[in-house]
Structure 1
Amino acid sequence: MISVTILCVGKLKEDYLRAACAEYLKRLGAFCKASVVELNEARLPEKPSQAQITAALAEEGKSILAKIPNGSYTAALCIEGERFTSERLADRMASAAASGKSSLVFIIGGSFGLSDEVKNACALRLSMSDMTFPHQLARVMLLEQVYRAFSINANTKYHK
């Protein structure tokens, strides 16, 4: 069974977001071994300089890269990434599995995004939208889209 990991910088603070994530993780259990791994956000002052932000992203990046299993198909969520339809994401996930990848890893950075090192290490840069969303909400949206992708590939009624 394929495993899907969502690597996230930061923790969910709102109960309703945790409940939504739990629901999609439960649903994903029918298709894969799904998990969310929360990584600590680097501490920054209230008004950080660009150098402080870059250093924090590098620190977070090391933690992220250390958590990616060898041989995984990796996707970084970032604003400059490609926008996919749900069907195209389903195709990409199916192609990764068909090519022998037993692990799919999606990466969501903190409020300042992801380091170039992390983005460059990923097979895919994925954008959810031209709009900006809080990274906590992006986690719920990503889990829903991963569930939708598995549903599309399984020809279930969920995706209409």
Structure 2
Amino acid sequence: MKHLICTVGRPGGWAQDALAEYVKRIRGFQELELFHSKQGPRAEKEIEVRAQGFWKVCLDPRGDSRSTIEWRKEWDRWERSNQSKICWIIGGADGHSEEFRRGCDVIRSLGPQTLSHELALVVLVEQIYRVESWRAGHPYHRE
């Protein structure tokens, strides 16, 4: 699978360190790209343009959450359905507009709580690493 992560806003120091570690691990066996738009009225439009051709997963606290096992099963289904290019979208301080949410293919949540975009990014990248390493037969994830 190819993963594109789009965020509104750039992560700061502590998040950059955690992000760098997981990005390095993921790129050992999966394609991963990051795109950070600036906070502002054009942010969602920039993300829409960048995400063209990708299966768009809007991350939002109102979306359906998944366990790690459920994420893996869902990703396996997406891949079998030729949805092997996934764009994960993390909003800014104000979240996503209703129009933007409607334009996404799926709305998922990392959990019921509201997270800063930096923390959501780190959690997402860890989960991508966890599921993709599991799918590749690496021992990182344990049942």
Distance across 2 between alignment mates of 1:96 and 1:31: 18
**SS at the partner of 1:137?**
helix
**Rg: which structure is higher?**
1
1:77·1:106 contact (CA, 8 Å) conserved in 2? yes
**Please, which of 83, 88, 94 is the counterpart of residue 106 of structure 1?**
88
1:64·1:118 contact (CA, 8 Å) conserved in 2? no
Distance across 2 between alignment mates of 1:101 and 1:64: 18
Question: Which one-letter code corresponds to 1:27 in the other structure?
Answer: R
**Where has structure 1 moved over 6 Å in runs of 4 or more?**
none
Question: Which one-letter code corresponds to 1:67 in the other structure?
Answer: R
2:115 matches 1:133: yes
**SS at the partner of 1:159?**
coil
2:104 matches 1:118: no
Identity, % of aligned pairs?
Answer: 27
Structure 2: gaps spanning 5 or more residues: none
2:73 matches 1:74: no
What is the total number of aligned residue pairs between the two structures?
142
Question: Which one-letter code corresponds to 1:95 in the other structure?
Answer: R
Give the CA RMSD over aligned residues: 1.3
Deviation track 1:48-82 (CA, whole Å, cap 9, x = no partner) reads xxxxxxxx3xx322111111132x21110101100
Distance across 2 between alignment mates of 1:116 and 1:149: 29
Give the TM-score of the pair, scaled to structure 1.
0.83
Deviation track 1:5-52 (CA, whole Å, cap 9, x = no partner) reads 100000112x2210111111111112311011000101xxxxxxxxxx
Tell me how far 1:101 sits from its aligned partner. Answer: 2.2
